[in-house]
Structure 1
Amino acid sequence: MPDPALLLVAHGTRNPRGVEMIARLADAVADRVGTTRVAFVDVLGPSPAEALREIRGPVVLVPAFLASGYHVHNDVPREVAESGHRAVAVTRALGPDPALAGVLVQRLREAGWRPGDAIVLAAAGSSDPRARHDVQRAAHLLSVLTFTPVRIGYVATGEPRVPQVVAESRQPGVRVFVASYLLAEGLFHSRLSEAGADGVAAPLGVTEPVVDLVARRYRAAVPTLRAGAGAQPNP
């Protein structure tokens, strides 16, 4: 069996910098594992089903999401089924993961965060309790690395919202920094500059740990395809 292609599935954004970031991530991953394609579940195309129909041979689909909500549990399986492709292995979402927590710390330090400053983890948000649990796990991983309590705020869906958590985190002499639990720049990240924090970290972006994480998700799924089991998400 030839090496499977990798299909990186992201949410989609109208922000060209966000689209460009996903393209750069795919290019960096391709340097590690070979053929890598990109698809989007919303906003722009191609859709995962469209991309899968164009790929001959086995495929490892990696959901480029930081928490497993509706898109991961519903949209991705539906798109795989609609494609008719019979040799697809679907991996876990990218997050939460200790590698991402390490990048969050790096981004916070680049933004000027120092020990003693408060941290608010800003996530897009979801109505799916599984996604909210994943964000809580991400906050815990970040707290362990920074020895700092980490509170969670949501940008788009769910409560509390980031500005509220920033305001509640303020204490005399304590600066408040927002850790952006987002992959790329776009509408959601732009809103964080209005949250009233002393500093806002950049999104995770294309960093070596993120590229390595995608490659690890891919490599862990390849044996599933070798064994002939397709279209099954890893636990």
Structure 2
Amino acid sequence: MSRVLIVGSSGTHSADGRANVSRLINAVRREAHGLDVADGYVDQQSPTLAEVVRTTAGPRAIVPLLLTRDPLPLRAMVAAARQDPSVSVTAPIGPDWVLAEIGVQRLMEAGARPDDTIVLAADAVTDEAAVEDVSKAARLLSAVWGGRVHVGTLAGLDADLGDAIDVARAYGKRVVVSSYVLTSGVAHDQMLLCGADVVTAPLVPPGAPDQRLVGLVLARARSRSGWLSADDGEHRAAHG
């Protein structure tokens, strides 16, 4: 029996965002030799993860298309996994060196220059574990970019994006926002209006998905060392 990779996504109302995620999942499906690939969603799209778990069988891994240990979608994914002991939840895809490399590519595509002030912008963070993940994402981006990276979030426990941009302006340089979001949607729309001089495209823009990201999703699915049991996953989602 083939193992099943369930790509778990938060879901989005954005038509562009849905199309971009769908292209990513189809690219994963094409490269997933020896794995059957299904997709499920926490909210706003169907099928739900619970439905996918009920209609599949055998060893299954839910790979969260999450850039941090965001507690709300992660709890939902763990709850879906608890329906069947054959289902595990892997670590989210972020933070990771691969995402930092793609983030630098987005900076270069946006015309960022070495003397710009870079602010990594993330969606709202409401959990200490997610705050740690955003900070780690900024450190990885800084290492690949080769310069300092500030951090701002749209809401929650970390520095407000608007405040972070105000601080960045004190350096007297252009402020470039590195969008730490997966795809188009409300969060990226808000980043475009944040007052920065330049805002990068999401990690998954229109067009063919980056093969490095495809490989990252597959690596999560195939590395059992990163898997969480349902009970462990619920504990981590609740406590970080």
TM-score, normalized by length of structure 2? 0.88
Match in the other structure for 2:40: 39
Question: Taking every aligned residue pair, what percent have the same amino acid on both sides?
Answer: 34
Q: Which residue of 2 aligns with 1:58?
A: 59
Secondary structure at 2:38's aligned position in 1?
strand
- 2:28 aligned partner, one-letter code: V
Q: Distance in 2 between matches of 1:7 and 1:212?
A: 15
Counterpart of 1:220, as a letter, is: S
Are the equivalent residues in 2 in contact too, given 1:63–1:94 (CA < 8 A)? yes
Please state how far the C-alpha of 1:41 moved relative to its aligned partner. Answer: 1.2
Please say if 1:209 is aligned against 2:208.
no
SS in 2 for 1:35: strand
> Within 1, Cα distance between the matches of 2:196 and 2:139?
21
Distance in 2 (CA, whole Å) between partners of 1:16 and 1:157 is 26
Instruction: Return closer, same or farther for 1:140/1:222 CA change in 2, 3 Å cut-off.
Output: closer
**Worse overlay, 62-71 or 150-159:** 150-159
Give the direction of change, closer, same or farther, for the CA distance of 1:214–1:80 in structure 2 (3 Å limit). Answer: same
Whether the 8 Å CA contact 2:65–2:93 is kept in 1: the answer is yes
Q: Quote the residue 1:111 is aligned against.
A: 110
**Residue 79 of structure 1: aligned partner:** 80
Shift of 1:223: 11
Q: Give the C-alpha shift of residue 45 in structure 1.
A: 2.5
Is the Cα contact below 8 Å between 2:125 and 2:158 reproduced in 1? no
Q: What residue number does 2:26 align with?
A: 27
**Which secondary structure state, in structure 2, belongs to the residue aligned with residue 21 of structure 1?**
helix
Please give the alpha-carbon distance, in whole angstroms, between the structure 2 residues aligned to 1:172 and 1:217. 39
The separation in 2 between residues aligned to 1:191 and 1:72, in whole angstroms, is 21
Partner of 1:218: 221
1:23 is displaced (CA, Å) by 1.1
Deviation at 1:231, TM superposition (A): 4.5
Which amino acid is the alignment partner of residue 166 of structure 1?
Answer: I
Aligned partner of 2:154 in structure 1 is: 155
Matched, 1:48 2:72: no
Q: Which runs of 5+ in 2 are unaligned?
A: none
Unaligned runs of 5+ in 1: none
TM-aligned CA deviation for residue 75 of structure 1: 1.9
C-alpha distance in 2 between matches for 1:195 and 1:19: 23
SS at match of 1:218: helix
Are the equivalent residues in 1 in contact too, given 2:40–2:49 (CA < 8 A)? yes
**Other-structure match for 1:187:** 186
| Number of residues of Structure 1 aligned to a counterpart in Structure 2 | 228
CA distance in 2, matches of 1:210, 1:102: 10
The structure-2 alpha-carbon separation of the partners of 1:79 and 1:223, relative to structure 1 and needing over 3 Å to count, comes to closer
RMSD over equivalenced CA pairs, Å: 2.2
In structure 2, the residue matched to 1:175 is: 174
CA contact (8 A) 1:92 1:233 kept: no
CA contact (8 A) 1:192 1:200 kept: yes
Greater alpha carbon shift after TM alignment, 51-60 vs 68-77:
68-77
